[in-house]
Amino acid sequence: MAKHDYDFSNLNPTATVLRKLDPIVIEKPRAPIHIHTYGGESPFFRGLTEGKLLATRCVNKKCKPAGKEGHVFLPPRVYCPDCLERTEWIDVTERARKTARIHTHITVAHPGAFNRVPIPCELISVEIEGVSTIIMSQLRGAKPEIGMPIEPVFETAHPTFTILDLAWVPRKA
């Protein structure tokens, strides 16, 4: 593999992120070295690094209820939970910018060892119009309120290739 196919960022100068591979592979230096793959969820994490919020949906019209009703899943499901068929990827970034709201929230004062979230962390459940599921994330720059309109922000300059590349801020009027 050519040197330009990977870099040494990911918040740790010795971590290797193999961006060009599909699925994305991250090496986290530890003793022992832990290497894992995002497998079928690679498009979701790659999308975050590109400023896109990707979800999945069942396209099996015989599937009840997901395919027949056009259920959209975020966090994404690689396979439909109802019919176990492979799902298709869709971009819900603009839908999220226009319709996302806080469903529930909690302030986390002690997130635990090795967490990289700001303390205290405003942990939120995000509902998006037309999306069948709710995604957990963090709110930046405001105190959360149920029903608060929010929009996604992405860490694209120095991505971590984790869910921390996605956060939410109050939607601008």
Domains and CATH numbers, the chain: 1-37 (no CATH), 94-170 (2.40.50.140)
Q: Is the dihedral of CA 164, 166, 172, 173 positive or negative?
A: negative
| Mean pLDDT of the 27-36 span | 68
Query: For residues 19 and 8, what is the distance between their CA atoms, to the nearest angstrom?
Result: 11
User: What pLDDT band is residue 117 in, cutting at 50, 70 and 90?
Assistant: confident
pLDDT for the residue 1: 46
CA distances from 112 to 109, 120, 129, 144, 166 (A): 9, 11, 32, 21, 20
pLDDT for the residue 6: 46
B/e letters for 39-73, b = 16+ CB within 10 Å, e = fewer, are ebbbbbbbbbbeebbbbbbbebeebeebbeeebbb
| Mean pLDDT of the 76-100 span | 95
Q: What is the pTM of this model?
A: 0.79
Upstream peptide bond of 111 is cis (omega within 30 degrees of 0):
no
Whether the pLDDT of residue 153 is over 90: the answer is yes
Upstream peptide bond of 65 is cis (omega within 30 degrees of 0):
yes
Whether the pLDDT of residue 170 is over 90: the answer is yes
Q: Is the dihedral of CA 34, 35, 40, 45 positive or negative?
A: positive
User: What pLDDT band is residue 121 in, cutting at 50, 70 and 90?
Assistant: confident
